[in-house]
Each structure stands twice: as structure tokens, then as C-alpha cells.
Amino acid sequence: MSRAHDPGHYFQTTSALEDTARKAAKAKNTHGLPIKLPSKILAVCADPQDEHHQLYVAEAAGNVKRINIEVGQTLTQTTAVSSGWRQSLTRYAADA
């Protein structure tokens, strides 16, 4: 039995087709130097050690990435981050 993995082979409503076209056009956007991540963003917080240029981003895929927002480069990838704002502590768990 052959299975089609291409969404174009299935019945789709007009609104679903419009939504797919909108997302495709949005993915081609290069204005403002967007950062592309492989999964949905769940949380974002500034790096307490460098608040102006780096962020921690938690993704639905189970990863936490430290990203330099000026160049859009991933600096560190871990599975968990714990940050204490009062003591300026940052702990990393299970570096990937």
C-alpha cells in the first residue's frame, strides 16, 4: 500500500490552503533578520549574564537554546536551564 506524505494529495478546505500559502510567504520573510528555529517557541528570557545580546529560548522539541540575537547564532543547546535572578546564578543540565 502506498502512502502519500505530501499535503497536496489530500482534500483541503480553501481556508486551509490559504493558511498554508500565508505560512509559506511568512517563512520567506528576511526583514529584520529573523531567527529560524525547528520547533515552536514555548518561552523566552534574557540571559542574566548578558541581557543585551543573548536570550534563552525553550522549544517544544525539548531543547533550550542560548541565542545571540545580534547575529542569530545558537551558542549553547541544553535540555534544561535554571536561573536565579537574585543570586545571578545560571545552571545548565544535560548539555546536548
Mean pLDDT value of segment 61-80 = 84
* Phi/psi of residue 80, nearest 5 degrees: -160, 145
pLDDT exceeds 80 at position 28: yes
pLDDT averaged over the chain?
78
- CATH architecture assigned to 7-93: Beta Barrel (2.40)
Which residues in 40-59 are b (16+ Cβ under 10 Å) and which e? eeeeeeebeeeeeebbbbbb
pLDDT exceeds 90 at position 53: no
Give the residue extent of every domain in the chain: 7-93
Q: What's 11's DSSP letter? A: -
pLDDT of 45 reads: 85
Mean pLDDT value of segment 65-94 = 71
72: left (phi over 0), alpha (psi -120 to 50) or beta: left
pLDDT exceeds 60 at position 65: yes
Which grid cell is 46? 534574557
Residue type, 21: A
